[in-house]
Structures are given as structure tokens and as C-alpha cells.
Amino acid sequence: MDKIVVEYCPKCNAQLPPGLEKCPVCGHRMPSKSKDEITFRDIFWLTATILGFVLLPMLIIIGIVVLIIWLL
């Protein structure tokens, strides 16, 4: 933990400790990038899980049906 992460206010350029929602100098609201990333990842994983749970059994069923048709 030698690296000290410092953020700068985009409005007044004041040095701020990370994780602040508002600049204490000028009151500028800091953009929350991490929240957007979490929601995007949540959507991605939700879609991936749904696709995995729906598409995988469907592909297996289609594969079995195709195999039965081929064997008949």
C-alpha cells in the first residue's frame, strides 16, 4: 500500500481523497464510474447466466433430437 491514489476535481482541479461524491472546495458532484461498471457487469453476468441456463439445455435437446432423427 505504498501507492497513494489521489483524485482531482474536474471543475476546480483541487486535490481530493478518493471515494468522495462531492468536491468539498467547489461542491462539484464527482462522476461515479464504479457504479456504472458494476451495473454493466451485473447485466452481462445476468445475460450470460440466462443464456447458459436456457441455451445449453436447448442445444442438448436439439442435439438429442437430431441424433434420434439421424439414427431413425
Contact footprint for Zn ion (CB under 5 A)? 9, 11-12, 14, 23, 25-26, 28
The Cα 29–Cα 71 span in angstroms is 66
* Nearer Cβ to Zn ion (8/40): 8
Q: How far is the CB of 23 from Zn ion (least distance, A)?
A: 3
* Nearer Cβ to Zn ion (14/67): 14
* Cβ count near 23 (within 10 Å): 19
* Nearer Cβ to Zn ion (20/51): 20
- Residue 59 burial class via C-beta count within 10 angstroms: exposed 0-12, middle 13-18, buried 19 and up: exposed
